[in-house]
């Protein structure tokens, strides 16, 4: 079954991509959830118009994304976590905590789904996360987990 994605989906594709999925997955999950629509000729024509409108909106935002990337370049985000004497933290650092720290320290609001942490963060130390701001703009963010 061919569908048109209405949102970015991990391991499937980006918004407005034409992809092939199993019929049950498309019919029972993607379409009812509003994540995709059937790729028939009428919807393909609508898609061209929607893409033009979205590209105009995104073109305006690309400058914003570039500004965010340059603002974060070389910066180290500090995240406080409760830790034991051995350096292991209680729980782990998640994308939610990174999004909150970005908002607090740099006044940057970012959706948590755009933050991709490399590996698991379960000890004090320095780590890297990739921010998927736009298709071509994905800066690396250095963050340090310190004891609270």
Domains of the chain: 2-61 (3.40.5.10), 69-147 (3.10.430.100)
Residue 97 is predicted with a pLDDT of 92
What is the per-residue pLDDT for 71?
87
Structure tokens at 38: 């059937």
Tokens 């305006």 — which residue? 60
Q: Please state the pTM of the whole predicted model.
A: 0.66
Whether residue 136 contacts residue 70, with contact meaning beta carbons closer than 8 Å, is answered with no
Helix (H/G/I), strand (E/B), else coil: 89: strand
Give the pairing of strands 76-81 and 140-147.
parallel
**How much is the pLDDT for 134?**
79
The whole-number pLDDT of residue 99 equals 92
Q: In the chain, which residues have pLDDT < 50? A: none
């Amino acid at each position: 079954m061919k569908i048109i994605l209405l949102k970015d989906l991990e391991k499937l594709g980006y918004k407005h991509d034409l992809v092939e999925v199993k019929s049950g997955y498309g019919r029972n999950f993607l379409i009812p959830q509003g994540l995709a629509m059937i790729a028939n000729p009428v919807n393909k024509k609508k898609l061209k118009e929607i893409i033009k409108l979205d590209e105009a909106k995104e073109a305006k935002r690309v400058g914003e994304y570039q500004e965010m990337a340059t603002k974060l370049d070389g910066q180290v985000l500090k995240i406080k976590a409760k830790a034991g004497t051995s350096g292991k933290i209680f729980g782990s650092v998640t994308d939610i905590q990174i999004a909150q720290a970005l908002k607090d320290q740099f006044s940057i609001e970012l959706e948590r789904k755009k933050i991709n942490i490399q590996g698991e963060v379960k000890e004090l130390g320095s780590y890297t996360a990739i921010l998927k701001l736009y298709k071509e703009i994905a800066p690396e963010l250095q963050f340090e987990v310190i004891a609270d």
